[in-house]
Amino acid sequence: MLKIKDYADIVGQNVIEELAILSQHLQGKRIQNINSTAVGGGVAEILTRMLPLLHELGVDARWDVIRGDEKYFAITKKMHNALHGVNETIGDEDLEYFLEINERNVAEMDLNYDIHFVHDPQPIALIRKKPSVGGKWIWRCHIDFTNPNQKIWEFLKGFIEMYDTAVFSAPAFARRLPIRQVLISPSIDPLSDKNKDLSQEFIDAVFEKYGIDQKRPIICQISRFDYLKDPVGVIEAYKLAKEHVDCQLVLAGGGAVDDPEGMRVLADVRQAAENDPDIFVLFLPPAADLEINALQRGSTVVLQKSLKEGFGLTVAEALWKSKPVIATAVGGIQLQITHKYSGILTHSIEGTAFWIKQLLNEPEYAQKLGVNGREHIKNNYLIFRHLRDYLLLFLSVFEKDDIINFG
């Protein structure tokens, strides 16, 4: 079992001490996180790492997952896509069903906490319970809000305005709102199975298991099978690059409980990859963190060709491993990569193909990008910074007199 002091080697003892001091001020406060899936996707990834550390710091935090059925998750996925700017039809009946499921959860869930920290749109309407249960309510948006569908935005805005505070991942996502807005970007945990150092033997064994030849260049994208991650676009870019350089492509990912589109996307990917023995489409189970870590570490270049991206933990994960990353210049990815310094930002399939060819032909340049990328992640996107931001956020919603030993 990891202890928070194990992190001192990476970040320094004073940072850990500061976290402990901030946590002391939250004594007696009960914090409830609510999202829509326990596994799959970045939100679950972060909460899985964050909760044990908060507990170790003595913060009374818990994590609840709202319950929904297939119809509800089909609607919330359409909402998710629409908020990312995709043209989706969401009728009034869909919105009513969305509210109905939120209402059912209200009836089943204990909402007697000091802070309700609600993640993303799926559980957003739980806020309607605020007048009767009280407490502070924070809405945490992990979505790329650059260009949201107006109808859905207006619908959600009615709920967001009832919260005390809204949290966005990047300045570009902030909206005109009558409530307080806070910017907090996500993070990765350097000591998790997903990111910790691995032995070369372990990495070799994973590549051997899947029959991937480590003597030849390997490009990979790790992502849920989701149209917004553009896996078919990745295959097209790989094919264009392959006209000039030898390489293999790994597309690895699983699904998420709240994402019903995954199987359809996976079928499209398998079709696009057909007849190419150098494309490896790996459908991974939820607990594949060590394998994902190994695949990222053993790849020559990591891609993230998302069409929209709230943050893109996979980019941070690859950069932390000093990998050269080629990613699209969208959403939160732009916080992580400075073009030609800490990675490569592209805008098209052709651009991605061009840079695959360049980086495979110029390994020293590629390596430099990876080294700079790791430094940037180390300085900005590790879990201690995120913990500190969350502790300060929690403290900030209370009046001074509500907080123990404050000021």
Q: Which of 224, 297, 323, 374 binds ligand UDP (CB under 6 A)?
A: 224
Give whichever of 23 and 35 is closer to ligand UDP, judged by the CB atom.
35
Kindly tell me the sign of the dihedral angle through the C-alpha atoms of 244, 240, 324, 302.
Answer: negative
- Residue 367, token pair as written in the block: 């390596």
Instruction: Considering only residues 253 through 282, tell me which ones interact with ligand UDP, judged by CB under 6 A.
Output: 253-254
Instruction: Considering only residues 2 through 41, tell me which ones interact with ligand UDP, judged by CB under 6 A.
Output: 41
Instruction: Give the amino acid at 314.
Output: T
Q: Which of 160, 222, 382, 397 binds ligand UDP (CB under 6 A)?
A: 222
Give whichever of 111 and 188 is closer to ligand UDP, judged by the CB atom.
188
Per-residue interface string for the shown chain with ligand UDP, residues 388-407, x marking contact by CB under 6 A: --------------------
The rounded distance, in Å, linking the Cα atoms of 73 and 378 is 35
Instruction: Give the amino acid at 407.
Output: G
Q: Is 294 an interacting residue with respect to ligand UDP (CB under 6 A)?
A: no
| Closest alpha carbon to 215 in 258, 259, 248, 169 | 248
- Residue 263, token pair as written in the block: 């199987």
CB of 228 to ligand UDP, least distance (A): 7
| Closest alpha carbon to 55 in 15, 12, 3 | 3
Give whichever of 41 and 135 is closer to ligand UDP, judged by the CB atom.
41
Q: Is 45 an interacting residue with respect to ligand UDP (CB under 6 A)?
A: yes
Sheet holding 180-183, edge to edge: 60-65, 30-35, 115-119, 136-140, 165-168, 180-183
Question: Which one of the spans 77-85, 90-98, 230-238, 305-313 is the region binding ligand UDP (CB under 6 A)?
Answer: 305-313
Question: Which one of the spans 104-112, 240-248, 273-281, 307-315 is the region binding ligand UDP (CB under 6 A)?
Answer: 307-315
Residues 6+ apart with CB under 8 A from 391: 19, 22, 23, 26, 57, 59
CB of 296 to ligand UDP, least distance (A): 8
**Quick one: DSSP state of residue 311?**
-
Q: Is 203 an interacting residue with respect to ligand UDP (CB under 6 A)?
A: no
Helices and strands in the chain: count of H runs, count of E runs: 16, 12
- Residue 323, token pair as written in the block: 């990998």
Q: Is 373 an interacting residue with respect to ligand UDP (CB under 6 A)?
A: no
The rounded distance, in Å, linking the Cα atoms of 96 and 120 is 18
* 9, HSE (Cβ side, Cα atoms, 13 Å): 5
Q: Is 313 an interacting residue with respect to ligand UDP (CB under 6 A)?
A: yes
Tell the residue number behind the tokens 């969401």, with chain if given. 90
Q: Is 77 an interacting residue with respect to ligand UDP (CB under 6 A)?
A: no
Give whichever of 111 and 228 is closer to ligand UDP, judged by the CB atom.
228
Q: Is 327 an interacting residue with respect to ligand UDP (CB under 6 A)?
A: no
Instruction: Considering only residues 139 through 198, tell me which ones interact with ligand UDP, judged by CB under 6 A.
Output: 194
Three-state SS at 374:
helix
- Residue 167, token pair as written in the block: 């949290």
Q: Which of 33, 35, 36, 223 binds ligand UDP (CB under 6 A)?
A: 223
The rounded distance, in Å, linking the Cα atoms of 60 and 51 is 9
Three-state SS at 45:
helix
Q: Which of 292, 294, 382, 391 binds ligand UDP (CB under 6 A)?
A: 292
Q: Which of 33, 35, 314, 346 binds ligand UDP (CB under 6 A)?
A: 314
Q: Is 381 an interacting residue with respect to ligand UDP (CB under 6 A)?
A: no
Question: Which one of the spans 96-104, 212-220, 312-320, 359-367 is the region binding ligand UDP (CB under 6 A)?
Answer: 312-320
DSSP H helices in 84-127: 92-108
Give whichever of 320 and 355 is closer to ligand UDP, judged by the CB atom.
320
First to last CA, the chain: 34
Q: Is 312 an interacting residue with respect to ligand UDP (CB under 6 A)?
A: yes
Q: Is 311 an interacting residue with respect to ligand UDP (CB under 6 A)?
A: yes
Q: Is 284 an interacting residue with respect to ligand UDP (CB under 6 A)?
A: yes
DSSP H helices in 300-348: 313-320, 333-336
Contact positions vs ligand UDP (CB under 6 A) = 41-42, 45, 194, 222-224, 253-254, 284, 288, 292, 311-314, 317
